[in-house]
Each structure stands twice: as C-alpha cells, then as structure tokens.
A and B are shown apart, each in its own frame.
Chain A
Amino acid sequence: MNRTLNNQRLADDLVRPLFHTSVWFYAIVVAAGTVVACGAGAWGFQLWYGIGLSGKRWPTFWALYLTNFVFWIGISHAGTLISAILRLVNAGWRRPVTRCAEVITVFALMIGAMFPIIHLGRPWLAFWLFPYPSSREIWPNFRSPLAWDFFAINTYLTGSVLFLFLPMIPDLALVRDRSTGWRRTIYGALSFGWRGTTKQWNRLETAMQIMAVAILPVAVSVHTIVSFDFSMANVPMWHSTIFGPYFVAGAIFSGIAGLILAMAALRKALHLEHYLLPLHFDNLGKLLLLMCILWGYFVFNERLTVWYGNEPTEMAVFWATQRGDYAPLYWTMVIGNFVLPLAILANPKTRTILGTVIASCGVVIGMWLERFLIVVPSLTHKQLPYSWGTYWPTPVELFIMAATFAGMILLYTLFAKFVPIISIWEMKAGLPSRMDRAVLAEERLQSTRLDAEPLPARVGPEGP
C-alpha cells in the first residue's frame, strides 16, 4: 500500500475533529460550562461569607476539599505511567494513548492544585507558600509537609505541561500546514516555526527521553509527599509508614481508570475506532487489574497491622470504617475497587472496552471513597473520645466538587477540539512501513522463535 496514503489517512482522521464541529461539542461545552459556573459561584459565596459555609467543624478540619485534592492529584498519575514508563520501555502500543494520558495529567493537576487554595481559611494569602522573603523577612516553613506539597506539585505541573507541550509542537505544525486564515496564524505561532529537520527531531526525542526519566521520580515523589500530609501527623490510622507507596499505587490505579474512561469517550465522540483499538483497552485493562490487586495488597497490609496491634485509638477508627458509621462507604469502596474490577478484568472474555469502562467507573468511585475514608474517619475519632465528632458535606462543597468534574470534561473537550488528541507523528513513526527493512526483518526473525514475545501491535488502519 502506498505509504503516503496511509500517512494521509492517519493525518486526515486525526485532524478532522479540529475542523469539523458536531453539535455534541456545543452541548457538552454548554452543560459542563454551566456546572463550572455554578461551582465558581459557590466558591465566591464561600470567599465572601467564610469557609464556614463548608461542612468542616471541630474536629473534622479537613474533609471534602482535601479528599478531592488527593483524588485529583491521584488521577494525574495516569499520564506519567503510560507516557513515561511505556516510552522508556519502547512499548509500541502506547502511541495513540500518550497524549490522551498526558492531557489528563495536566488538567487533573491543575484542578487538584486548586483545592489547597479553596480549602484555606484565608485564600487571598495563599501566596505566602511561595518561597520568597516577605516584608516581614520570613520564609515559608520548609519543615511543613504543606510546603513540600507546594514544591512537589509545582515541579510536577511544570514537568507535565512541558511533557505534554513539547511533542505537540510537530502536530501543531501539521495543523498549521493544513489550515488557512486565523487558524494558520495561531497554529503557526504555537508551533514555534517547527520545520521537522532531522536535527530538530533528534533534539526533541532526546529531550523527551530525558524528561521521561526525570518525570517518573517526580510523579512518585508528588503523591508520596501528598501522603506525607497525613502520615506526618500523629492521628490514628494516618501515622502509618505504608502511606507513601499506598498512595502512589492508588494514584496510578485511579489514573489508569480515568484514562480508560477518557479514551472510551474519545473513541465514541471522535470516531477513533481504528486508532483506539480493543487491544489498547485490553492492555490497559491488564494494567488496571494489576493495580487492583496491588491496591488490595496494600489495604490488607495496612488493616492487618492495625487489627493485629489492637491499639485502642486505632481500633476505634478501624471499627468505625468497617462496622460503624462509615461501613456503607467502606464496603462500597471494596466492591468498586476490588471485587468488581477483579471479576471483570481477570477474565479475558470480559476485558472488552465495555468491561474495562465499567470496571473503571467502579474504580473511580471506589478511589474517591478511599480518599474520603482516609481523611474523615480518622479525624472524627482521634485520641480523646470527648472530642470525637461527625461530618456532613454542605451544598457549597458538593457544588465545587461537581464543578471540578465538569471542569475536567470541559477542558478535555476543548483540548480535543483544538489539538489532535492522538499524537500524529508518533503514530506515523510506529507504522511498519516507516521502519528500516533491516529492523523489520530482525523483528520477524525474533518472533519466529518458539519462546519469543508476541510482536507489539502495529497500529494502523488495517488493525493489529
């Protein structure tokens, strides 16, 4: 088959959403935009009347906002895993998936990073977390986990934005070449005058390799540092050494689930059936299964240690989650995070697109509940029983939370409208026709060995 035609069709399919707008786009933007506006209004109320409009109280000083903070930062770990790790191990099937994942990371981080500001008592002074010598000649307290949060999240956000934007440049150049008028000017500016000389490609790929190596430890450190917000305090069932790895595993878990949902939506909405194949959902489903088992392992570890130690303050929290007030949420979480994904994903026959989507919905709900069950039950059952309390969310908190989900949908939709959501140049580079005959021959030889791994899928219009 004529390779240029393949390339053409690839570019055509992936650029089409930028030039053709369906009515669904407007519907989603309007609907999501409305919810976001309501949330912004709710926050405005809260800024005006005081943080007392939220449900927080003595002793539950952290509740829904912190839950959402940890949840969204967790979702942001999708991009790093898929993009960076799979890029580093040269897994070819990652090609159509990387940009979808990186976009989730950037937007989830931005949304998550808003919550530390939303939950502050005096948010107009949030800039004091920035390391600068104030007029009082005082710097932030670098011993505080919240100061570490500031550095970690900003580093990860910078790294992720660059990790997303740099490989976008060649695609923006492609869109520039295909557009006219004001579109051409804007995409021309955004593509930085990219031509595609071999030197530019070499530099870009080296930079991506370095960034992939750099962003992995940053991602692990970010959610570990978020977990330090809890484990550094002497609160029952917070003060646990397992929190670092537990949170990172949970983050990757929820991130993959979020990615599967986003990919399924894109596949339907932008008619990407030839690019986001059942194979991708199958592979991601296997990863999701792995993380599901890993999550179960961590939870078992944590709970067994607490139950075996039988320490009264910790057991109060333990029973509150397992049999007490929080039991309905706890068991929903177990079903959503463990039972349902395990049942669906362990069986290859049910590991279809629909199956992984259902499992992912369960995981997203389950992981949100897990964050909530980490934050609230421990605070409501601290060491002195006289100070035990309860917590109920208020409409302000729920509106803001709904607005963040709508905001994610809105940002994602807008992004998919203005930038090709699948990396065109990476797809082209993965087409078999583009590889050296020698490399192809070698790979075919390797695959004829009896103990060989199956070839990575060649993604193209012909299918795997």
Chain B
Amino acid sequence: MKAIYGLYDDPHVAQQAVDNLRAAGVADAEITVISSEPFDHFEFGHRDAKTAMPWIATGAGAVGLVLTYYLLGLSQRAWPLVTSGMPIAPNWTNLIIIFEMTMLSAIIATVITLLVTAGIPSRGGKMYDPEVSDGYILVGVESPADASKLEPALAIDGGRVKKT
C-alpha cells in the first residue's frame, strides 16, 4: 500500500486525526498533512515551522556585501580613471551598489532555500489527492507499516478514509 489518508473539511477534526495517529504510534515525521491553505493557528500547521531561513538570508546578504565591496574596489583601482576630481573608489557612491547587491543576495538566497527545503520543483509520485484543492485537509501516512491500526485512527466523524 502506498499511502493511507483521511480527508476532512474541518481543521479541528484534522487536528484530532493527527493526534489519533500520534496515539497509534506513528512518528511525527511520518505524518503528512496536506491542505490548500496554511493553518498557522493550528498545532498541525506549525509543527515544522522551525527554519534557519532568516539566518541564511542574513548570511547571504553579508556575503554579498563583502563580495561587492571588494569587486567595486578592485575594478575601480584596476584602471583608475579620474572623473570630476572624485576619489577613484569613493565610499559614498560604492555604498549604493553594495546596498543593492546585499539585498539581492538575501532575496536570492531566500528563494533558493525555499525551493530546496520545500522540495520544489518535484517530479511528483508522492501522496496527494486533488480533492485537497476543493478545501479538504488530507492527513495521512505514506508507506504505512500497519494500515489496519491506522484506519480506525483516521476514520473519525467528518472524514473519509482512502487508501492507495
């Protein structure tokens, strides 16, 4: 069996299903909850919210800052052309480009981290039901060891159980 899951239209019922699965001995990492919208206010919605993404973004910004500073300084000093009596590598003007490149690095690092940690683009083949798009919440386990134990956990009031 590839997967067993239940479809619920009430997030409170979905939360109950998740707790039931936990009680039935399924590890947290094996419980998959799929929905067409985020449920931040529910426990099942923010159980894996911890992420280092802000730190990665900050770090990438710092890297961008340092790299741009040196790139500008090096390229301006490599062929020093005098303009308007300004210094060859003025800090005031270089600061503007350094700022832009810092922000760009942070933004791109954020997006790359998102793609990697969210596992997109993915080629599919994982557990999914198009009814999710109609607003149902899917709570299930992929490749379950003991499906007979899980079915009663998922078959609570307000839900439908499906097996693939």
Contacts and interface: CB of A to CB of B under 8 A. Distances in A.
Tell me, yes or no, whether A and B come into direct contact in the complex with CB atoms closer than 8 A: yes
Interface of A: 2-4, 6-8, 11, 131, 133, 137-139, 141-143, 147-148, 151-152, 154-155, 158-159, 162, 166, 169-170, 173-174, 177-178, 192-207, 210-211, 214-215, 217-218, 221, 225, 424-426, 428-429, 434-439
Given A195-B34, A195-B128, A206-B54, A218 B133 contact: no
B30 interface: no
Interface in B95-130: 96-97, 99-101, 103-104, 106-108, 110-111, 113-115, 117-124, 126-128, 130
A120 B119 CA distance: 43
Question: Top 4 A-B pairs ranked by shortest CB distance?
Answer: A7-B135, A436-B41, A193-B122, A192-B121
Given A210-B110, A436-B41, A7 B76 contact: no
A137 B79 contact: yes
B9 to A, nearest CB: 4
Given A169-B120, A193-B124, A425-B37, A152 B110 contact: no
B120 A200 contact: yes
Contact of A199 (B90, B97, B118): B118
Contact of A139 (B33, B76, B84, B103): B76
Contact of B97 (A151, A198, A215, A425): A151
A142 B97 contact: yes
B38 A215 contact: no
Given A151-B101, A197-B32, A201-B38, A207 B122 contact: no
A interface, over-half SS: helix
Contacts of A206: 49, 51, 53-54, 114
21 contacts: A3-B9, A3-B10, A8-B134, A148-B97, A151-B97, A174-B36, A192-B122, A193-B121, A194-B120, A196-B132, A197-B33, A198-B45, A199-B48, A202-B49, A210-B54, A210-B57, A210-B110, A214-B57, A214-B103, A429-B37, A439-B41
B38 A8 contact: no
Given A148-B93, A159-B104, 6 more contacts: A141-B81, A142-B94, A169-B120, A207-B113, A425-B37, A434-B11
A154 B105 CA distance: 12
Contacts of A426: 37
B70 interface: no
Contact of B46 (A141, A202, A218): A202
B46 to A, nearest CB: 7
Interface of B: 9-12, 32-42, 44-49, 51, 53-54, 57, 71-72, 75-76, 78-79, 81, 83-84, 86, 90, 93-94, 96-97, 99-101, 103-104, 106-108, 110-111, 113-115, 117-124, 126-128, 130, 132-136
Given A151-B97, A198-B47, A199-B118, A428 B75 contact: no
Given A210-B110, A214-B106, A147 B97 contact: yes
Contacts of A192: 115, 120-122
A221 B99 contact: yes
Most buried by B among A152, A195, A218: A195
Contacts of B128: 195
Contacts of B72: 142
A137 B74 CA distance: 12
Contact of A429 (B10, B38, B47, B127): B38
A434 B113 CA distance: 28
B108 A158 contact: yes
Contact of B123 (A2, A151, A193, A203): A193
Contacts of B104: 154-155, 158-159
B9 A11 contact: no
B110 to A, nearest CB: 5
Contacts of A199: 48, 117-118
Contacts of B133: 11, 173-174, 177-178
A214 to B, nearest CB: 5
A175 B9 CA distance: 20
A143 B134 contact: no
A200 B42 CA distance: 15
